[in-house]
Amino acid sequence: MNYKIKAIKISIGECDLCGTCVGVCPADAIELKESSIIIIQSKCTKCQNCVWICPLSAIKIIEEKKNEK
């Protein structure tokens, strides 16, 4: 990996709330509610399981900029 992950975020407009990502999160950092889904950043280990499993590619990696820390 040639970049550092700042965060992993769900693109709400692309997500259909299928919940596939919830089952693959080892940190239980994804919460699916009746009409919304969120990633709890403080719990997220940035393992990227959710990114790779999402059938709609609605979960995105947010890269840290070189001058950010």
What is the total count of domains within the chain?
1
CATH at 48: 3.30.70.20
pLDDT of residue 43: 97
In-domain check, residue 69 = no
In-domain check, residue 12 = yes
Q: What is 6-35 written as a DSSP string?
A: EEEEE-TTT-----HHHHH-TT--EEE-SS
In-domain check, residue 24 = yes
Residue 2 DSSP label: -
Host domain of residue 30: 5-63
In-domain check, residue 50 = yes
Give 57's Cβ-side CA count (13 Å radius).
Answer: 0
pLDDT of residue 67: 67
Per-residue pLDDT of the chain (69 residues; tens, 9 = 90+): 567 889 999 998 999 999 999 999 999 999 998 889 999 999 999 999 999 999 999 999 999 887 655
Model confidence pTM above 0.95: no
pLDDT of residue 63: 92
